[in-house]
Structure 1
Amino acid sequence: MADLFEAAGLTPHAPSPLADRLRPQRLDEVVGQDHLLGPDGPIRRMAEAKRLASMILWGPPGTGKTTIARLLAKEAGYEFQQLSAVFSGVADLKKAFEQARMRRAAGQATLLFVDEIHRFNRAQQDGFLPFVEEGIVTLVGATTENPSFELNGALLSRAQVYVLKRLDDDALASLLDKAEVHEGRKLPLEPEAREALVALADGDGRYLLTLAETLLNIGAAKPLSTKELGQILQKRSPAYDKDREEHYNLISALHKSIRGSDPDAALYWLARMLGGGEDPLFIARRLIRAAMEDIGEADPLSLLLANAAKDTYDFLGSPEGDLALAQLVVHLAAAPKSNAVYTAFKAAQRAAKETGSLTPPAHIRNAPTKLMKDLGYG
């Protein structure tokens, strides 16, 4: 068998990735999630009591969702069974439930971990309900998407949602230290380059260890500078999905920064959206709305400028047209604010809805005839 691997240019026992080799073996070793795993953390308390409740772990990639689920099962004495919503179907779910039922009959509890649980459709999510309710499985679902948007209300009512935080610089630095101890050598980096490496990871522990493994494998003759590091490792694109929650989070952040008169923050969120591939005309429409709703009569010129910026982008396109949006964002953020028109119109709409059959007073009605004028019309 070894000859077959050698003939193909492969080794029969290729090493696993560094991130997998450094996977924590105890909950105490997980970094960056002290609010859940610290002495008073809810997941820590469950593990110590060895009585687990179904839960959804919601957080960015590389924050430890799979690891926490695996260690939770280990420390509570549950059988760990894993499925991926990307690769599993109805047959896999039925098999997992039947196996869990058999274990329960033998006195063994099952923690069923479902990665990317938001990928299951509504009907598939409903399929978990009877098995969770009967205690046949303790469900731990992992998702990078907002559960309130992606998961059934019935499922959410049976599972506690725990939010995992993006790893901060201290947590990422500790992962680098562990990697160096495990590998028995230092990363070939100057101090500034080491800080740049942490920044490149953008809160993702798994990605950081992947970058570190690349650096350990290149065998650099001397410590790399920040510039040399940038030539070897490319910064990945920031997480941004125009059809999901981050799309709405960033446009909200832009609008609220304008409303809060913070030009620097507004420019930052604009740059984030444009850099993520957002449709500039979607942004322009929101800026026109901000000019009407939040500035209004305090600076009526803002509405004209907002439409002019949209027309300029239409004419120039990107990247030149991006500057028109940036100029508009700065103007709107710095402009005086008044929502008087917006507030008054909303009040008028409510009154119109409540008194929709009210006849106008006679003195402001149309008076096309002498009789109507004699009756006080007009």
Structure 2
Amino acid sequence: MADLFGDDPAPVKGDAPAKDAPLADRLRPRALADVIGQDHLTGEAGAIGRMVGAGKLSSMILWGPPGTGKTSIARLLADEVGMRFTSISAVFSGVADLKKAFAEAEKMAGAGQRTLLFVDEIHRFNRAQQDGFLPFVERGTVTLVGATTENPSFALNAALLSRAQVLILERLDHAALEALLVRAEELEGPLPLNEDARAALISSADGDGRFLLGQAETLYNAALPEPLDPAALGAFLQRRVAVYDKDRDGHYNLISALHKSLRGSDPQAALYYMARMLTAGEEPLYVLRRLVRFASEDIGLADPNALTQCLAAKQAYEFLGSPEGEVAIAQACLYLATAPKSNAAYNAQKASFRTAKETGSLMPPANILNAPTKLMKDIGYGEGYSYDHNTEEGFSGDNYWPDGMDPQVFYEPVERGFERKVKERIEYWNRLREGRS
């Protein structure tokens, strides 16, 4: 039987889990309305809610972090529209398992029973195996629901992606995780935690509902005589948890303060908030993740070494551990605070992604397409390509945009730090391009 967010096949509606089953299993959702934290998909206005309302499912890829409900949603979808549910895991299955699943689906289709095929960790199938799904999805033999924690754009074939809708599950926020604990307490009684420790436990789950319920079950099984505070909770679970003080300025408030102090180029305040988090028991790797993000979002090419410094700090911390490795985190923090700032790369990424979604699958111009075969050469691939290194300036000025699409400007470097040089280069190339056009 499946747990609330689990990777095991979920039970048929009406089946009750055993009394000694894991807590997450006993709290599994019995209907889509019971799924926590994914209302943007399962609500009436969400993609899944609309499909269920219409009584017809399309193939889909559920993409999201662990413990967010992918498996449970898949089984509940089958229940909601009256489909037969079968599942395989790409970790444990091979070609023979796929053939068997497809053969059974074809047999059931002949009897008028549609099949929802759930494939967990679908990104672990190789490209040839992924291609094997295509004819069965196209014929409607199965409605494919794949689950993955990896970016589908990189992990799945384009052909498979074109036949399935990608739905993004969100990491469970504080309110969703709190709701899970409330359900647990309705079943098992109050958790042996004070208010601050409860908030720290939720923070330590990092959006993973299954992990949170596992930790809660550990606390219940221990039959603790007194409620724990954050420090005692961390010692009991052998896991560092962030302390939430009496003013309630905890995890998210402190990371916001750190980020904005870095952006405001105040190294003293940035060090203070970093120290507040680490001395309170925050996971150092969480702080490092935020520093790495800042290096690209708020500094970018104004100082390309910022990202290198942060990744080096992560490596140093993993090598040295605590407390010796924390000086490397402080060094990265200071580097970011004192570096020139630019969000040009961040803005460029957002703008380019937006345009890519709007323009769809426009073909690049033929002159810049590779032509490894005679047929491709015969139809014009690569014809007229200018090899930039053969020009005096190392710059041909060719057009690289799809036919019918005007050149776009996504990246606009600022007059700060290294980006000043980048801006000069781009302006130089633009002048050459204008002269040749």
* Counterpart Cα distance in 1 of 2:68 and 2:314: 39
Gap change, CA 1:228 and 1:139, over 3 Å in 2: same
Q: What TM-score do you get using the length of structure 1 for normalisation? A: 0.70
Instruction: Judge conservation of contact 1:79–1:111 (CA < 8 Å) in 2.
Output: yes
Q: Which structure's residues are more often helix, by fraction? A: 1
* Counterpart Cα distance in 2 of 1:29 and 1:195: 23
Gap change, CA 1:199 and 1:309, over 3 Å in 2: closer
Q: CA deviation at 1:102?
A: 0.5
Gap change, CA 1:258 and 1:143, over 3 Å in 2: farther
For residue 216 of structure 1, the aligned residue among 215, 220, 224 is 220
Q: Which amino acid aligns with 1:169?
A: H
Q: Which amino acid aligns with 2:285?
A: G
* Counterpart Cα distance in 2 of 1:114 and 1:349: 49
Gap change, CA 1:312 and 1:33, over 3 Å in 2: closer
For residue 156 of structure 2, the aligned residue among 146, 151, 163 is 151
Query: Which residue does the alignment assign to 1:345?
Result: 425
For residue 275 of structure 1, the aligned residue among 277, 280, 285 is 285
1:85 matched to 2:90? The reply is yes
Query: Which residue does the alignment assign to 1:328?
Result: 335
Gap change, CA 1:138 and 1:266, over 3 Å in 2: farther
Q: CA deviation at 1:165?
A: 0.8
Structure with the larger RCO, 1 or 2 (CA within 8 Å, 6+ apart)? 1
Instruction: Judge conservation of contact 1:66–1:142 (CA < 8 Å) in 2.
Output: yes
1:294 matched to 2:294? The reply is no
* Counterpart Cα distance in 2 of 1:206 and 1:109: 30
* Counterpart Cα distance in 1 of 2:309 and 2:35: 52
Gaps of 5+ in 2: 1-17, 242-258, 343-413
Instruction: Judge conservation of contact 2:23–2:214 (CA < 8 Å) in 1.
Output: yes
Q: What TM-score do you get using the length of structure 2 for normalisation? A: 0.61
* Counterpart Cα distance in 2 of 1:175 and 1:53: 29
Q: CA deviation at 1:327?
A: 2.5
Query: Which residue does the alignment assign to 2:79?
Result: 74
1:137 matched to 2:164? The reply is no
Instruction: Judge conservation of contact 1:266–1:329 (CA < 8 Å) in 2.
Output: no
The correspondence of residues 117-266 of structure 1 with structure 2, limited to 5 A, is 117-183=122-188, 185-235=189-239
How well do the aligned residues superpose, as a CA RMSD in angstroms? 4.2
Local SS of the residue matching 2:113 = coil
Which of structures 1 and 2 has the bigger CA Rg? 1
- Over residues 50-82 of structure 1, what are the superposed CA-to-partner deviations in whole Å (9 max), with x where a residue is unaligned? 211000111111110000000000111011111
Q: CA deviation at 1:354?
A: 8.4
Q: Which amino acid aligns with 1:340?
A: R
Provide the identity percentage. Answer: 50
Q: CA deviation at 1:333?
A: 4.6
Gap change, CA 1:154 and 1:310, over 3 Å in 2: closer
- Over residues 145-203 of structure 1, what are the superposed CA-to-partner deviations in whole Å (9 max), with x where a residue is unaligned? 111111111111100111111111111111111112223x2211112211111111111
* Counterpart Cα distance in 2 of 1:323 and 1:68: 42
Q: Which amino acid aligns with 1:294?
A: A
Local SS of the residue matching 2:159 = helix
* Counterpart Cα distance in 1 of 2:45 and 2:311: 52
- Over residues 183-229 of structure 1, what are the superposed CA-to-partner deviations in whole Å (9 max), with x where a residue is unaligned? 3x221111221111111111111111101100010011122222211
Local SS of the residue matching 2:207 = coil
Q: Which amino acid aligns with 1:201?
A: A
* Counterpart Cα distance in 1 of 2:315 and 2:141: 58
Q: Which amino acid aligns with 1:212?
A: A
Q: CA deviation at 1:83?
A: 0.7
Gap change, CA 1:35 and 1:330, over 3 Å in 2: same
Gap change, CA 1:353 and 1:208, over 3 Å in 2: same
Q: CA deviation at 1:275?
A: 2.7
Gap change, CA 1:260 and 1:158, over 3 Å in 2: farther
* Counterpart Cα distance in 1 of 2:171 and 2:313: 38
Instruction: Judge conservation of contact 1:57–1:164 (CA < 8 Å) in 2.
Output: yes
Local SS of the residue matching 1:15 = coil
Instruction: Judge conservation of contact 2:52–2:80 (CA < 8 Å) in 1.
Output: yes
Q: Which amino acid aligns with 1:225?
A: D
* Counterpart Cα distance in 1 of 2:164 and 2:86: 18
Q: Which amino acid aligns with 1:62?
A: G
Larger displacement relative to structure 2 (319-328 or 113-122): 319-328
Gap change, CA 1:274 and 1:149, over 3 Å in 2: farther
